[in-house]
Amino acid sequence: MPPVIDKEKCTGCGICVDICGQDVFFGSKDGELPVISYPEECWHCAACVIDCPTQAVRLRIPLPMMMLYK
């Protein structure tokens, strides 16, 4: 499951694009809402969630991973 961007909170700073090691946000432009180009590449590392200054990014954890955490 890919990250989800809250359009109301996002300022388009690009920190999530820069921090993502898997290029999930490939093709995103500075100052605009990030584009999730490769959602299947997301490793759920939460780097984009942690580094977002406005807390506009959240992760949807797949059900099998959620069951492992319980």
Locate the domains of the chain by residue range. 3-69
Residue 15: what pLDDT?
95
DSSP state of 32: S
pLDDT digits (tens, 9 = 90+) for 43-52: 889 999 999 9
DSSP per-residue letters across 35-69: P---GGG-----HHHHH-TT--EEE---HHHHHHH
Q: Is 70 exposed, middle or buried (0-12, 13-18, 19+ CB in 10 A)?
A: exposed
Q: How confident is the model at residue 1 (pLDDT cuts 50, 70, 90)?
A: confident
Are 25 and 37 a contacting pair, CB within 8 Å?
Answer: yes
| The listed CATH number (3.40.30.10, 3.90.190.20, 3.30.70.20, 3.40.50.300) that belongs to domain 3-69 | 3.30.70.20
